[in-house]
Every structure is written in structure tokens, then in C-alpha cells.
Amino acid sequence: MHVNRQYVLANRPVGPIQETDLAYRESPVPVPGPEEVLVKTAYISLDPSMKGQMEARTDYTAPQALGEVMRARAVGTIIQSSNPRHPVGAQVFGFFGMQDFAVTDGRRIPFHQYSVPVDPEVALGLLGGTGMTAYFGMLDIGRPRRGDTVVVSGAAGATGSIAGQLARLRGARVIGIAGTAEKCSVLREELGFDEALNYREDNLSEGLDAMCPHGIDVFFDNVGGEILDLCLARLAQRARVVICGGISRYNATTLPPGPVNYFNLVYRRARMEGFILSDYSARFDEARTALQSWHASGVVRQRSTVVRGFDKLPNALVRLFDGANTGKMMVRTD
Ligand SMILES: NC(=O)c1ccc[n+]([C@@H]2O[C@H](COP(=O)([O-])OP(=O)(O)OC[C@H]3O[C@@H](n4cnc5c(N)ncnc54)[C@H](OP(=O)(O)O)[C@@H]3O)[C@@H](O)[C@H]2O)c1
């Protein structure tokens, strides 16, 4: 390949992301300097957080500039190296962006180098940003115990599907909430969730009442809005509410009112806590080691939706918000 295909941020979205918010560009393939490596990306991740970065609305990262290559996590291979610690052929994971090639010395774009190659879908999903988000959010903040009732929203997505499995591993009863009957079947039949509710078709109030007769001990929330409110109304004593994400508000131009049932945190002596994955960077190796061993022993499974073709990146990002994915959404670049 003689050019570096790239998607750059063309517009800051107002409301839902449009494909035209990303613009295609071709650049020369970059040449690594001293201490640098050239990475060829193979699988590029689509993440809801991209929306906030495109809008320059996040305060935990520097704003994404217009015209800059769209930031994205990716898995790839080192194809040129001027750094003996990072040999040609090594599999790497990092924020290489929506492009075929990235150059880094490991500081400008920090990356994780796998000592042995792993399935790239697993490297990007379970062992990547979303698997580790589930690990720290569920195990450190949610802290499920044997016999607990755990509810996960956005349960068939990249983070939710792992978070629910981790709660099961701790001996909890796990209920997933997702947007289609097919996703609910995957949760129950493939991923070991005890129960699943389809928020588009089922009566969530009745379903949660029936499935959580003693209340919810841990609510792992990826969605916010009405689903958060319904779960707040059903907290058990000393419940933990993990605010991982709030995708129901990401496309809203006017934010909805806050949850009416938040005062149950007082009555139930409960705790609601948000977190950002990057705060846990010192413990990423711990998370990867644990997740890899659970995956190897078959107790935690990875699901992914792989879209084929670099030119599908803008469409795949739009479709992520429509629920097109089960598990980790990614584009295979070739
Ligand atoms: N705190 C952190 O550090 C951190 C890190 C990573 C991710 N996150 C957050 O975690 C959440 C999940 O991220 P992910 O990467 O794992 O994405 P994901 O769940 O794989 O994909 C997004 C899913 O959200 C669901 N969705 C979209 N609009 C919805 C709505 N209005 N109501 C309910 N569900 C809706 C869709 O599934 P359905 O078919 O079920 O609707 C879609 O498949 C996001 O909110 C993200 O921002 C937080």
C-alpha cells in the first residue's frame, strides 16, 4: 500500500453523528524516525465516546481538533521499527486512529505490545478498552457478591456483555437489558445471563419487579435516562450503581431532566459512582491477565460485530448508535 487512508473529523455533530462528519483523506505513509515504529492497523474500534470527542465535549481528554485524524483504538502489527524493544511483527493495541498507518515512539501514542499474538477481535474487545472498562467498573465499583442481583443496561454491547459475565463469575444473578429479542437470546443462551429484558418491547417495570423481587444490589449502567430511573426505584439496601455510560443522552440536543428516583440512594443507603477507564491505567496489566485467563478457560466469552472494509468506518460509527452491534463493534480495514 502506498498511501495512508485516513478519516479526519470534518464537522462537529449536532444531534446524531452523520457519515459526512468524517472526511476521507489520503496521505503519504509516514516514515518512522529514531526510536519509532510504523504500525499497520488491522481492526479499528468504534466507541460511543467518539461522539463526545467529536463534539469536543469531554473534559478527560484534549479536544479532538477539526481536520485531525479521528481518534480510535486499533489493533495492528509493527511493520517497521527503529526501536529494539518493539520488533517488527509484534501485535500492538493503542489509539492509532482511523487510518492504515501510524508512527509512534510509544510515548506520543502509547500502546500495549502483546508478547504472543492473540485473536485481534479479543485484543480489541475483551482485552481492549471495553473489556477493561467492564473489569474495573463491575469488579472495583460494583463489587458483586454471591447471591446478589445485578442488572446491566446496554447488556449486549461491548462493555455490558463482559460486565454481566464478570458478575456471574462472582456468583451473582444477572439480568441484562438490551434492544432486540435476538440480543436477549444471545445474553441468555451464549453469555450465561440468567434473564434478559428487551427495553423496546417488554414492560421494563413489570419485568424488573418480577426478576428482582428483593431489589437490585448492583446496577451497571451504560444507558442512563428512563432505564436508570427504573433501576434506581428498585435498589436493594447498600446497592451500588455504577455509572459507566449514558448512551441514551449522547444524541440529545436538549438534555432530559435528572432521574426522579435518585432519592432512593438515601432510603437504601446506596452509592452511585461514575468512573473513567484511563484512571486505572496503572492496573491495565492486571485486568488483561485476568480477562485473558478467564477467556482461555471459557468462562468469559467475547462477542463482536466485524464490519469489513476501511470505507465502512463512518457508517459503522453511525450504526453503533442504532444498535447494529452485538458485542464489540469494529471495522476490519482490509
Ligand atoms: N466510563 C468509561 O470509562 C467508559 C469506557 C468505555 C465505554 N463507556 C460507556 O459505556 C457504554 C457502552 O459502550 P460500548 O463501547 O460498550 O458500546 P456498545 O454497548 O457496544 O454499543 C452501544 C449500544 O448502545 C445501545 N443503545 C444505543 N442507543 C440507546 C438508547 N437510546 N437506549 C438504550 N440503549 C441504546 C445499542 O444497543 P441496543 O440494541 O441494546 O439498543 C448499542 O449497540 C457507552 O455509554 C460508553 O460511553 C464508558
In a domain, 220, yes or no: yes
**Where does a domain end: 277, 292, 314?**
277
Pair (216, 141) in one structural domain: yes
Averaged pLDDT of the chain: 97
Q: Assign 14 a pLDDT band (cuts: 50, 70, 90).
A: very high
Does residue 160 line the site of ligand 1, with CB under 6 A?
Answer: yes
Closest CA to 11 of 71, 95, 67, 72: 67
- Rounded to an integer, the average pLDDT of 42-65 is 92
Of the candidates 130, 197, 200, the residue with the CA atom closest to the CA atom of residue 163: 130
Task: Look at residue 1 and tell me whether its pLDDT is greater than 80.
Answer: no
Residue 283 in any domain: the answer is no
Is the domain of 92 the same as that of 166?
A: no
Q: Is residue 201 part of a domain?
A: yes
Q: Which three cell numbers stand for residue 75?
A: 489493533
The domain in which residue 158 lies consists of: 129-277
Q: What is the pLDDT of residue 80?
A: 97
Residue 18 pLDDT greater than 70, yes or no: yes
pLDDT band at 11 (very low <50, low <70, confident <90, very high): very high
- The reply to whether 137 and 272 lie within a common domain is yes
DSSP 63: P
Reduce the DSSP state of residue 331 to 3 states and report it.
Answer: strand
Looking at the 3D structure of the chain, how many domains does it have? 2
156 and 196 together in one domain = yes
Whether 262 and 328 share a structural domain:
no
Q: Check pocket membership of 179 for ligand 1, CB cut-off 6 A.
A: yes
Residue 57 banded pLDDT, cuts 50, 70, 90: confident
High-pLDDT (> 90) share of the chain, %:
94
CB of residue 223 inside a 6 A radius of ligand 1: yes
User: Does ligand 1 come within 6 angstroms of the Cβ of 122?
Assistant: no
Cα-to-centroid distance, 223 and ligand 1 (Å): 6
User: What are the residues whose beta carbons fall under 8 Å from the beta carbon of 132, sequence distance 6 or more?
Assistant: 277, 280, 284, 287, 288, 291
Under a CB-based contact definition with an 8 Å cutoff, are residues 220 and 137 in contact? yes
How much distance in Å is there from the Cα of 86 to the middle of ligand 1?
Answer: 33
Q: How many CB atoms lie within 10 A of CB 274?
A: 13
Q: Where are the alpha helices (DSSP H) in 114-219?
A: 120-124, 129-134, 158-169, 181-185, 204-211
Contact 153, 222 (CB under 8 A): yes
- Mean pLDDT, residues 175-183: 98
Percent of the chain at pLDDT above 70? Answer: 100
Residues 271 and 137 in one domain: yes
pLDDT of residue 62: 83
- Ligand 1 atom nearest to CA at 246: 45
User: What value does the mean pLDDT take over residues 94-110?
Assistant: 95
Q: Would you say 217 and 236 are in contact if contact means Cβ atoms under 8 Å apart?
A: yes
- Ligand 1 in reach of 323 Cβ (< 6 A): yes
Three-point CA angle 14, 132, 246, nearest 5°: 30
Q: Please indicate whether residue 53, judged by its CB atom, sits closer than 6 Å to ligand 1.
A: no
**Ligand 1 within 6 A of CB of 321:** yes
> Do the domain assignments include residue 288?
no
Does residue 291 sit within a domain? no
pLDDT of 104 higher than 70: yes
- How many Å lie between the centroid of ligand 1 and the Cα of residue 65? 24
Q: How confident is the model over 120-147, as a mean pLDDT? A: 98
User: What does the alpha-carbon distance between residue 210 and residue 76 come to, in Å, rounded to a whole number?
Assistant: 46
Q: Tell me the C-alpha distance between 19 and 40, whole Å.
A: 24
Closest CA to 152 of 49, 223, 258: 223
Residue 297 within any structural domain of the chain: no
Handedness of CA 246, 252, 257, 261 (dihedral sign): negative
Instruction: Residue 84: give its domain's CATH number.
Output: 3.90.180.10
pLDDT score, position 61 = 83
- At 194 the three-state DSSP class reads coil
Ligand 1: centre distance to CA 96 (Å):
22
325-334 residue pLDDT tens: 999 999 999 9
Q: Are residues 134 and 261 in the same domain?
A: yes
Would the CB of 64 count as within 6 Å of ligand 1? no
Residue 120 DSSP symbol: H
- Atom from ligand 1 closest to the CA of residue 159: 16
169 and 260, same domain (yes or no): yes
The mean pLDDT value for 159-172 works out to: 98
Does residue 222 surpass a pLDDT of 80? yes
Q: What does the pLDDT average to over 253-278?
A: 95
Judgement on whether residues 111 and 203 belong to the same structural domain of the protein: no
The verdict on residue 296 lying in a domain is no
Return the number of other C-beta atoms located less than 10 Å from residue 265's C-beta: 16
101 in the same domain as 42:
yes
294 within some domain: no
pLDDT in tens, 269-300: 999 999 999 999 999 999 999 999 999 999 99
pLDDT tens, position by position, 140-155: 999 999 999 999 999 9
237 and 115 in a common domain: no
Give distance in angstroms: CA of 238 to centre of ligand 1: 26
CA distances in angstroms from 312 to 39, 134, 265, 327, listed in the order given: 21, 27, 43, 18
How many whole angstroms separate alpha carbon 238 and alpha carbon 23?
A: 48
Task: Let me know whether 179 and 217 are in one domain.
Answer: yes
Rounded to whole angstroms, the Cα distance separating 103 from 265 reads 48
pLDDT digits (tens, 9 = 90+) for 67-85: 999 999 999 999 999 999 9
Residue 187: pLDDT over 90:
yes
pLDDT of residue 249: 93
Q: What is the CATH number of the domain that holds 268?
A: 3.40.50.720
